[in-house]
Amino acid sequence: MKKATTIILSAAALLLAAGVGVSAFLSYKNFKNYAALSAQLEENAGQVTNVSSQVDGMREEVRTRFSLVQSNMDSMREALEKKDEPEETKENEVTIAGQYVIRATTQISDAYLSGDASALSDKDKETLDMASAILKEIITDKMTPYEKELAVYEWMTHNLDSDPGLLPVVPTTQADCDNPYGVLKYHNAVCVGYATTFRMFMQMMEIPCMVVHNTEMYHSWDLVQLNGHWYHTDIYSDVSTSNHMHFNRTDSMQQMEQSWDFEYFPKSDSDEDCYAAKNAVTQNDVFQIPAEIRKALEGDVNFLAYRIPKEADNRSALVLENFMQRIEQTVEYSSGCEGTDISWQWMPMDNNYVIAISIAKCGSGEDVPTLPDEDLNRIENIMEEIFGDFDNFCDDPSLPKG
């Protein structure tokens, strides 16, 4: 019995020892796993921190780029809005056709009126001398403001022209073609030059005058004030013909050809000193007008105006228009009228219909240049030699097309 007890106790001790060993073994193994897991977690945490840092950097970059795009969009929007806003209208320092600038010339007119040119530049002094000599030649003290304006208009349209064969808009001398110095010195210019020169003359005679530009910014002309009323005068359009078609027109007349800032520039609504109105002949019988036009074509007349009473029926206007269309065609295709151009325009008036007729003849300005017969014959021979068979050349089916 005692021996059995001893065996049992020994067995229990062995089991206890074995249990402790297993427990210790298991604890050691779990420690190693925990350490590895902890290390892995720390490594993963580092990676997470790195990724988070990268995400934060990307987020900041996106935020910066978005802010830049937003700023650019705001700048573009402001630029577009500014572009859409019309520029404030002004008379001077306005660029026409992208290169010709309307500039004030009051320093010259003020020097003329005061008799003191000491403050002028050499160029302005020369301009003043040229302008003063012209006014001395064409203006008298007894003239009315209208007569003075007309005298300047006629001097400019007769004496200022481009070189033969060239349009006034393309002057031979490009220098100063948009100011009075170039106009008076070289006698050719663009519209800005004519307009600023006319205004300078008016201001020298103390006649109020402004330079107007159209809304499309490609043309300019003048507004002149007489007896409290404003009138449009466009020297450029009448240069070399002096036909008075654009001398002292009302807004309604000028609107048929141009548009401008009606709110900024003075209103012109009186035909009191309108050239067409002052010179129109009342004609109740429109069938008499063709004979008078024929007489004008054979003479030296370059402007006719007829007043048709408003009480007249539309038939009179239609008859006159039919006559004018036929006369235009006849003059255009007639060998006896070579070099002659006739045009016409209805002029709106308060109480009448006025038709203005312009007759431009070769020689009314400078003569149109012609080639001598020797050159013409040589041109004809060369054309015949080189292009004489051109019709057959074009019709030859063996030649490549296209």
pLDDT by residue (tens digit) across 331-361? 888 766 667 888 898 888 777 778 999 888 7
Question: What average pLDDT does the segment 12-19 reach?
Answer: 50
Per-residue pLDDT at 62: 65
Q: Measured at the alpha carbon of residue 401, what is the angle toward residues 396 and 402, in degrees to the nearest 5?
A: 150
User: Taking 90 as the threshold, does the pLDDT of residue 103 lie above it?
Assistant: yes
Confidence of residue 22 (pLDDT cuts 50, 70, 90): very low
**67-76, 86-95, 363-372: which has the highest mean pLDDT?**
86-95
More confident residue, 183 or 390: 183
Per-residue pLDDT at 252: 92
Q: CATH code at 333? A: 3.30.110
* Terminal-to-terminal C-alpha distance of the chain: 132
| Same domain membership, residue 343 and residue 293 | yes
Identify the domain boundary among 246, 276, 306: 276
CA distances to 51, 56, 70 from 60, in Å: 14, 6, 15
What CA–CA distance (Å, rounded) separates 124 from 190?
Answer: 19
User: Taking 50 as the threshold, does the pLDDT of residue 368 lie above it?
Assistant: no
H helices of 85-226, where?
106-114, 122-138, 145-159, 180-186, 191-204
Confidence of residue 94 (pLDDT cuts 50, 70, 90): very high
| Same domain membership, residue 236 and residue 172 | yes
| Same domain membership, residue 263 and residue 378 | no
Per-residue pLDDT at 377: 82
Does any domain span residue 60? no
Per-residue pLDDT at 123: 95
Segment 260-297, tens digit of pLDDT: 999 999 999 999 999 998 999 888 888 999 999 999 88
| Weakest mean pLDDT among 168-172, 209-213, 257-261, 325-329 | 168-172
Does any domain span residue 54? no
Handedness of CA 365, 369, 373, 377 (dihedral sign): negative
What CA–CA distance (Å, rounded) separates 197 from 195?
Answer: 5
| Same domain membership, residue 244 and residue 118 | yes
Does any domain span residue 347? yes
| Same domain membership, residue 361 and residue 255 | no
Per-residue pLDDT at 365: 42
Question: What average pLDDT does the segment 313-340 reach?
Answer: 82
Helix axes 145-159, 122-138, angle to 10 degrees: 110
Does any domain span residue 195? yes
What CA–CA distance (Å, rounded) separates 199 from 235?
Answer: 11
Paired strand residues for 222: 211, 233
Per-residue pLDDT at 318: 86
H helices of 85-164, where?
106-114, 122-138, 145-159
Does any domain span residue 77? no
Per-residue pLDDT at 205: 97
User: Taking 70 as the threshold, does the pLDDT of residue 11 lie above it?
Assistant: no
What CA–CA distance (Å, rounded) separates 209 from 355?
Answer: 27
What CA–CA distance (Å, rounded) separates 179 from 193?
Answer: 4
Per-residue pLDDT at 340: 81
Does any domain span residue 171? yes
Confidence of residue 185 (pLDDT cuts 50, 70, 90): very high
Per the CB < 8 A criterion, the answer to whether 381 and 375 are in contact is: no
| Same domain membership, residue 270 and residue 129 | yes
Identify the domain boundary among 251, 276, 301: 276
Per the CB < 8 A criterion, the answer to whether 173 and 182 are in contact is: yes
Per-residue pLDDT at 171: 46
More confident residue, 148 or 318: 148
Compute φ and ψ for 263, nearest 5 degrees: -80, -35
Average pLDDT, the chain: 80
CA distances to 160, 259, 278, 282, 308 from 349, in Å: 31, 19, 11, 13, 10
Paired strand residues for 342: 359
What CA–CA distance (Å, rounded) separates 196 from 191?
Answer: 9
Lookup result for tokens 């007043």: 307
| Same domain membership, residue 326 and residue 204 | no
Whether the predicted model's global pTM rises above the 0.75 cut? no
* Structural domains of the chain, count: 2
- Taking alpha carbons only, the member of 126, 102, 125, 263 closest to residue 195 is 102
Does any domain span residue 71? no
Identify the domain boundary among 241, 276, 311: 276
Number of alpha carbons in the 13 Å side-chain half-sphere of residue 279: 17
Per-residue pLDDT at 270: 92
Compute φ and ψ for 354, nearest 5 degrees: -120, 130
Confidence of residue 145 (pLDDT cuts 50, 70, 90): very high
Confidence of residue 126 (pLDDT cuts 50, 70, 90): very high
Task: Classify residue 348 by its DSSP letter.
Answer: E
| Same domain membership, residue 248 and residue 119 | yes
CA distances to 309, 332, 342 from 335, in Å: 36, 8, 14
| Same domain membership, residue 306 and residue 217 | no
Tell me what percent of the residues of the chain surpass a pLDDT of 90: 42
Question: What average pLDDT does the segment 206-213 reach?
Answer: 97
Confidence of residue 382 (pLDDT cuts 50, 70, 90): confident
Per-residue pLDDT at 221: 96
Helices H / strands E in the chain, number of each: 13, 9
| Same domain membership, residue 105 and residue 219 | yes
Q: CATH code at 226? A: 3.10.620
Does any domain span residue 225? yes
What CA–CA distance (Å, rounded) separates 360 from 169?
Answer: 18
Residue 184, domain extent = 90-276
| Same domain membership, residue 270 and residue 360 | no
More confident residue, 30 or 195: 195
| Same domain membership, residue 145 and residue 235 | yes
Confidence of residue 45 (pLDDT cuts 50, 70, 90): low
